[in-house]
Structures are given as C-alpha cells and as structure tokens.
Amino acid sequence: DSMIGKLVVWAEDRNKAIAKMKVALDELLISGIKTTKDFHLSMMENPDFINNNYDTNYLARH
C-alpha cells in the first residue's frame, strides 16, 4: 500500500469543508517523496468538484 497518510476535515457544509481542506493542504508539508498534494489543491478549486458535479470518471478527466 503506497498511502502514507490521510487528511480529513469536517465542517457544517460542503463549501466550508472545501475551504478548510484548502487551508489544510496549504499547510501540509511532506518531503522526500512525490505526493498528490497539488492535484488535491486544484481539485478543491475545480468548479465541477465544488458544485458536487463529479462521478467515478472524474480522475480520468482531470
């Protein structure tokens, strides 16, 4: 298993949770290995993701 950790946030609604996740990802520091941090940051700003308009093909499209 290549997963080294999991970052989880909670908020009263989706928009607040996305905002919290953006802050958490901005503050996340991992060195010495490649990560998907930049992809997840861009996902938090993607209109389809923000508007809950995604499906199982989301990753393939982005």
Domain membership of residue 53 (yes or no) is: yes
The pLDDT of residue 50 = 95
Q: Which two tokens stand for residue 61?
A: 């499209």
- The pLDDT tens digits along the chain (62 residues) read 788 899 999 999 999 999 999 999 999 999 999 999 999 999 999 999 999 998 999 888 88
**Which residue intervals of 1-62 are DSSP H helices?**
14-27, 37-44, 47-50, 58-61
The pLDDT of residue 2 = 80
Domain of residue 49, residue span: 32-62
The pLDDT of residue 62 = 83
How far is Cα 13 from Cα 34, in angstroms, rounded to an integer?
31
- Residue reference for tokens 């901005």: 26
Report pTM: 0.85
Domain membership of residue 54 (yes or no) is: yes
Domain count for the chain, please give it. Answer: 1
How far is Cα 35 from Cα 9, in angstroms, rounded to an integer?
19
Domain membership of residue 59 (yes or no) is: yes
Domain membership of residue 45 (yes or no) is: yes
Domain membership of residue 46 (yes or no) is: yes
Domain membership of residue 62 (yes or no) is: yes
Sign of CA dihedral 48, 51, 54, 59: positive
